[in-house]
A and B are shown apart, each in its own frame.
Chain A
Amino acid sequence: MDLTDAQREIVRTEGDFLLLACPGSGKTRAAAARVMRVAGEPGTKVAACSYTNVGAERIASMLEQPLQPKHFVGTVHTLLLRYVVYPFAHLAGAKRGPELRHEEWPAQKVYGDRKQRVPLDEFQYDTEGHLVLRRPQRAVKGTSEEIVASVESAVKARKKGFFREAGMVSLDDAMWVALTLLRKYPEIAAAFARRFDEILVDEAQDTSELQLACIGELRKTGSLRSLVLIGDLEQSIYSFQGASAEGCRALAAERGLRELTLSENHRCSQKICDAARHFCTRAMADSAVGETRDCEIDPEVALYPHDDPEQAMALFRERLEAHQIPTAHAAVLARRRTMVESLAGTGVKVDVEQRPARIARLAVALAEGTLTRSDMRYAERTVARCAYGDAIGPEDLDDDARVALRAAAYRFISALPSLDGDLRTWISGAKEALMAGAALVADTPATAAGMLLKSKATHQTVTVAEVFTPPPRDLVPQTVHSIKGEDREAIMMVVRKPHGSDPTHQFELFDAIATGTEVSEEAEEERRVTFVALTRARRYCLVALPDTKRGRAIAEASLALGFLRV
C-alpha cells in the first residue's frame, strides 16, 4: 500500500492524537494501516471503530489481513454494547435482557392531546441525563425544548420502566446506559480500557456525544495506551443523532490529544476543492494531489423548474454527456428522502400505509432473493402482532416459541401472493397469508389481519409491480448521508425549494455564503452536508437550484464562488 509521508506518520506515531483529515485524504486507509501496525505488535489489542456499520466495514475491508479475535473492528455502538451494556445492564437496574428495540416504540402524548404524540425513542439523553428532541416534530406544537419541558419526567419514567422490567432500551438510550455505568463503576471502565491497548475511532465527527463521553471515561482510567480519534469536523452530518464536532474537539482538548492533520485531497480536482472551500470553515482550500487534480471541468450551477425536479435529472445527463462522464460513475444527491423520491419520479403514486408497503417490499425482496434479516424480523413482528396483539413482542418469547414464530413468519411470507395482480387483491391475499401464519402460533389471533394490512379502493387501479418494482435505472438519486465515505466521478446536488412543512436551511446557507455574511447556526449543519456532497466528486459537480426568484439570485451569486452557470 503506497502511503504518503503524512499518512505514514499517522501509522507510526505513538500516543493519543486527534487526526483532522480533509475529504479524500485517505484517512481510513491510513487508519487501517495503523491498525495493522499496532495489532502486529506482540501482545497488543486494538479496537478499530467507526460510527456506522458501513464505516466499520470500510476499515475492515482495507486491512491487509483479518485480525485475530482479540481485536475489535465494528461500530462504537457495538463496542459499548458488548463490553458495557450487555454484561452490566443489570447493575443499571434491568431485571431482564437487555433487549435493543429498534422500532415501534409507543408514543408519548404531549399537552394531554391524543393527536400530538412523539414516539418515546425520539427523546434522547444528553450527557447530563436531560432529554432532548433532535428531530423536528411536525405533529406537535411548540419548540423541541417546550415539548421536552412538558413531558420530560413522564417520558423518563416510562423509559426507565421499560428498561427495568423488560430490559428494553432504544439504540440511543443504550449509550446513555453505557455512560452511566462507566461513570458509576470505575472498575468496569478500567477493565474495559485494559481490554484494549488502543482504541481508534474513525469518523469521530459523527460519533454521538454520549459515545464520545463514554470514550472519554475510558481514557480517564489511564489504562489505555493510546486513543486515536480520526475525522473531519467539517463533515459532521449526524447532529440529529447527537453527533457534535465541537464535542469531538472538546474531548481531544480535555484529554490532551495531539492534533495531526491530513490536508491533501487525493480524490477531487483542485477546482472542486476550491469551490467546496466556501462550504467549510477552513481558511485554505484543501490541496488536490490525486490523479484528477488538474481536471479542468468547472463546478456548475443550473436551475430546474421548482415544481418538477425530475427535469434536473435530464439536465444532469446532458452535462455528463458534455463532460464525457458515464452516468454509471455519477450520483444524484439530495438532502432528504422526500426530494430523493421526487427525483426518482416513482411512476405511480399511491397512498399505501406503512405496514402493507413494507410487506410488499419484503415480497419483492423475496422474489429477487435479497431478503435481509431485518425483513425477516419485520415479518416475525407482524405475525406476532397478529397472533398475540400489542402486549407481546418476539423479545418476550422463550426460545421454543421464538423458533415457532420464525416458522410462522416463513409460512406467512412464502404464502404471499405473486406480484402481478392489482394491489388491492394482493393485500387481501397477504391478509390471508398472515392469518395462516399467525394460526401456527395462536389458536385465535389477537388482531385481525385486516387491521394490520389495510387497503383502499384506489389500490385496485394499480399493480403491485408498478408501485414497488420500478424499472432499473442508471442514475439513482440518494441522500447525502447514504454516500458518506464514497466517491464518484461526478455528482449533482439538488437543492430544494423551501417548503412550509419541510424547511431546509439550504437556501439560507447559499445566501449567506454568496453574500459573505455569517452562517446561522441552523444552516451550519447544511453547510457540512453540502461540503460532504460536493467533495464526493472527483471531477465534476453540479448544483441544481429551483428556478425561483431566490434560486436565480443564488445562482448568480455563486459565480463568485467558482461555479459556472449553465
Chain B
Amino acid sequence: MRIKALQSKGYRNLAGEVELCSPLAVLVGENNAGKSNLVDALRTVLEPEGGPRERCWLRLEDFTHDGHGGDPIEEELELGVVLSDLTPAEKGRLVTCLSPKTGADCARIRMRARLGADGRVLTEWLGGDSEHADVERHARSAVSFVYLHPLRDAAADLRPGRDNKLIGLINALAPRGDADRDAIVAAAQAANDALDAITAIMRARAAIANRLNSMTGRGRFTQQSDLAFHDPRFERVVGSLRAKIGELSALEMRENGLGYNNLLYMAVLLAAIADQPGDSEPTLRVLLVEEPEAHLHPQLQELLMRFLESQAVATTQVIVTSHSPTFASSARVERLTVLTKMPSGPPQARVPATFGLEEKQLSYLHRFLDVTKAALFFARGVVLVEGVAEQLLIPALAQRMGRPLAPSGVTVINVGGVAFPPFTALFGEERLTSKVAVVSDGDRQRDVESELDGAPTDLSPRAADLLETAGANLAVLLAERTLEWDLAAAGNVDVMLKALTAVKPRVGAALEKQLQGASREDAADAILDKVKDVKGRFAQELAAILDDDAVSFEIPKYLQDAIKWVADELPAAGLLPEPMER
C-alpha cells in the first residue's frame, strides 16, 4: 500500500489532485507553492502515530479564501488520500474505504468539513466513493504518520518525559510479556538499592525528612519524602531515556550542533516507525519531513537523501518537502513532485515519473542534475544554454532590456554542451509548466555558393532537431551561427573588440586595425576566430563592459526573443532595488 495522491477541494490554496511518489516522495517548488499545505492536508486526514495532539486540526483559515484575509470563498472543503497497490490483507482492513472507481487495488480515505453557522468546523470522514459517513476507525488507522516540522528543535522534541519518542520504539521492541521489560525495571530498582546504601544519600534523605517533618508537624499534615534515582516502573524508566550524539563520544544533545541533532532525531523516528510488533495489522507508516535539509551542510544532505532512498520498504513511505537544490538533485527525478504557483488559481503539481521518460533519460538526468541545474525545479522560468558564455551574458543582457531575471524567478542553466533533450523532455503542457527558452547555436555555415544563390543556408542537423522540441511553454531560439558571431554581427564589433583587447591586448589591437571597413559578417568571422579558445574569459570581460549603461549595445534578436519569452518587463525599473543575478 502506498499513498498515490492527495485530492483536495476548498482547502487553502490546493485544488485537484497531487500525485506522490513512493516509497520516497520529494516535494519541491518555490515558496508559497503549497508544499506545506500538502503536508498539512495529509496531517489532517491521516492518523497521527503519536496521538491526537499531533493531528493537524482544521481551522477557519483552512477554508479557501480570497487571499486578502476575508471570509472563506468556500464553506465546504474535502480532502482525500488516494491509496494504491493494496494487498488483499490491506483491502480487508480498508474494505470500508475501497474505491473501485479509482482502481482495482485502490482505496480512499476522505474528510469533509463544513463551516457551521456558528463558525465551528464540522468534520466527517468518508470512505472510498461513498457519500455515507461511516468509516470505521480501524480502517482509518491503516495509515498513520509521524511529522517533523520545519522549525524543529530536536533537543526539545527528544527530551525525556511522557512524550518521549523513545517510548514507542522500546515498547515495540519489548512488548508486554517480554522479559526485557522486567529486566529494565530490575535495573532501575538495582540502581535505587545501590544509591540507598551510600552514606551521603542516606544523610541527605534524613536531612530533608527532618526539615519536612518540622514544617508539617507529626499530625495529619505529615508527608513522606524520599530520594530515588527513578521509579522502578517500565514507562518511567523508558520515558527518561535520552538519545545522545557526538563525534568522539555520545554527548547530551544540548552540547551538540543542530545538524547532527536533526539526524539523530530522524534516526529515532525512523527506528520507531520501522520496528512495529510483527502481528499488528497491515499499516502504512508515513514519515512527513519538512525541509530535511535544515541545518545540514550539502554533503550531509546528499547522504541523508541516499539513506531515505534506502528506506524503501513496503510498509513505510517518506514524504519530504524541500527548498534545497542539493536535496532535489540528490533525489532521483522520478521521486519528485514539482509544485508550481500559477498566476491565478491553485498551484499545479507535476510528477516527472509520469512524463513517460525513458530509463536512459532518467539516469542521464540523475547524473547531470547537479545543484545548479536542480534549480530548474524551483524556477518560474528557465533559460537553458550551452555554455558559460551564455550563462554569464544573458543575465546582463536581460538587465539591459529592463527585464532582469531574478525578480521574474528565472534561472539560467548551463547544460554544458548541447545535450538539451533530457532537460527539454521535462517541460510541456502536461509536464513542468514553467516557461523555458532553449538558447543554442544555429551553426549555419557560410559558403560561397549559397551566398551567391541567395538561398538560405541550412541549420546544422542538431539545431534542426532541437527546433522540433519547441512546444507550448518551450521556445527554441537559435543563433544564426554562434553566440559571439551573432553578437558581433548584430553591430557590436567595437564593443566586442574592446572586450577582446582586454583578454588579448595585442591581438585585439591588431584586429581592430585589420577590420577597418570590413563587413559585419567578415568582422564577426574574424572575432569568432580569435575568441573561440577564450570564450569564458571573453564573456567575463564583455559582461563587465555591459554593466556600464553608457555603453550602447545591440542585442541580437534571438536573445531578445529568449529573454522576452521567460522574463517579464519590470513596470518601473529603478524604483526597485538593484537585483542580484545568479
Contact across chains for A191 and B91 when beta carbons are under 8 A apart: yes
Within residues 55 to 83 of chain A, which ones have a CB less than 8 A from any CB in chain B? 69-70, 81-83
Contact across chains for A90 and B131 when beta carbons are under 8 A apart: yes
**A253 contacts across to B, CB distance below 8 A:** none
Residue B89 is within 8 A (CB to CB) of chain A in the complex: yes
A98 vs B279: C-alpha distance when bound (angstroms): 35
**B94 contacts across to A, CB distance below 8 A:** 191
Which of B117, B132, B279 is close to A87, meaning CB atoms less than 8 Å apart? B132
**B92 contacts across to A, CB distance below 8 A:** 191-196, 223
Which of A70, A91, A194, A403 is close to B138, meaning CB atoms less than 8 Å apart? A70
Contact across chains for A185 and B100 when beta carbons are under 8 A apart: yes
Given contacts A87-B130, A90-B131, A98-B132, contact A399 B98 (CB under 8 A): no
Q: Mark B88-112, 1 if CB is under 8 A from A, else 0.
A: 1101111111101000100000000
Contact across chains for B117 and A90 when beta carbons are under 8 A apart: no
Q: In whole Å, how far is A41's beta carbon from the nearest beta carbon of chain B? A: 9
Q: Mark A79-101, 1 if CB is under 8 A from B, else 0.
A: 00111001111110000111000
A196 vs B89: C-alpha distance when bound (angstroms): 10
Which of B95, B114, B116, B130 is close to A194, meaning CB atoms less than 8 Å apart? B95
Q: Which residue of B lies closest to A99 (CB)?
A: B132
Residue B561 is within 8 A (CB to CB) of chain A in the complex: no
Contact across chains for B281 and A223 when beta carbons are under 8 A apart: no
**B381 contacts across to A, CB distance below 8 A:** none
Q: Mark A374-413, 1 if CB is under 8 A from B, else 0.
A: 0000000000000000000000000110010000000000
**A308 contacts across to B, CB distance below 8 A:** none
Given contacts A87-B96, A399-B114, contact A194 B279 (CB under 8 A): no
**A415 contacts across to B, CB distance below 8 A:** none
Residue B127 is within 8 A (CB to CB) of chain A in the complex: yes
A403 vs B116: C-alpha distance when bound (angstroms): 10
Q: Mark A161-190, 1 if CB is under 8 A from B, else 0.
A: 000000100000000000000000101101
Which of A43, A81, A167, A400 is close to B117, meaning CB atoms less than 8 Å apart? A400
Contact across chains for B280 and A43 when beta carbons are under 8 A apart: yes
Q: Is the interface of A mostly helix, strand, loop or mixed?
A: helix
Contact across chains for A69 and B91 when beta carbons are under 8 A apart: no
Q: Mark B109-134, 1 if CB is under 8 A from A, else 0.
A: 00000101100001000011111101
**B114 contacts across to A, CB distance below 8 A:** 399
Residue B137 is within 8 A (CB to CB) of chain A in the complex: yes
Residue B17 is within 8 A (CB to CB) of chain A in the complex: no
Given contacts A187-B104, A195-B95, A399-B122, contact A43 B134 (CB under 8 A): no
Residue A471 is within 8 A (CB to CB) of chain B in the complex: no
Q: Which residue of A lies closest to B99 (CB)?
A: A87
A167 vs B130: C-alpha distance when bound (angstroms): 11
Given contacts A82-B136, A399-B114, contact A88 B130 (CB under 8 A): yes
Contact across chains for B134 and A82 when beta carbons are under 8 A apart: yes
Q: Which residue of A lies closest to B96 (CB)?
A: A87
Given contacts A70-B281, A194-B89, contact A97 B95 (CB under 8 A): no
Q: Which residue of B lies closest to A400 (CB)?
A: B117
Q: In whole Å, how far is B281's beta carbon from the nearest beta carbon of chain A? A: 6
Q: In whole Å, how far is B143's beta carbon from the nearest beta carbon of chain A? A: 15
A215 vs B138: C-alpha distance when bound (angstroms): 21
Given contacts A185-B100, A195-B95, A400-B116, contact A69 B136 (CB under 8 A): yes
Q: In whole Å, how far is A462's beta carbon from the nearest beta carbon of chain B? A: 44
Q: Mark A470-512, 1 if CB is under 8 A from B, else 0.
A: 0000000000000000000000000000000000000000000
Contact across chains for A89 and B104 when beta carbons are under 8 A apart: no
Residue A347 is within 8 A (CB to CB) of chain B in the complex: no
Contact across chains for B122 and A82 when beta carbons are under 8 A apart: no
Q: Mark A92-120, 1 if CB is under 8 A from B, else 0.
A: 00001110000000000000000000000
Q: In whole Å, how far is B332's beta carbon from the nearest beta carbon of chain A? A: 33
Q: Mark B73-92, 1 if CB is under 8 A from A, else 0.
A: 00000000000000011011
Residue A369 is within 8 A (CB to CB) of chain B in the complex: no
Q: In whole Å, how far is B582's beta carbon from the nearest beta carbon of chain A? A: 53
**A516 contacts across to B, CB distance below 8 A:** none
Q: Could you show 21 A-B contacts with beta carbons less than 8 Å apart? A: A81-B134, A82-B134, A82-B136, A87-B97, A88-B98, A90-B129, A96-B131, A98-B132, A185-B100, A187-B91, A187-B98, A187-B100, A191-B92, A191-B94, A191-B98, A192-B92, A194-B91, A194-B93, A194-B95, A399-B116, A403-B117
Other A-B contacts than A191-B98, A192-B92, A223-B92, 7 sampled, CB-CB below 8 A, are: A43-B279, A70-B281, A87-B127, A87-B132, A97-B131, A188-B95, A195-B93
* Residues on A facing B (Cβ under 8 Å): 42-43, 69-70, 81-83, 86-91, 96-98, 167, 185, 187-188, 190-196, 223, 399-400, 403
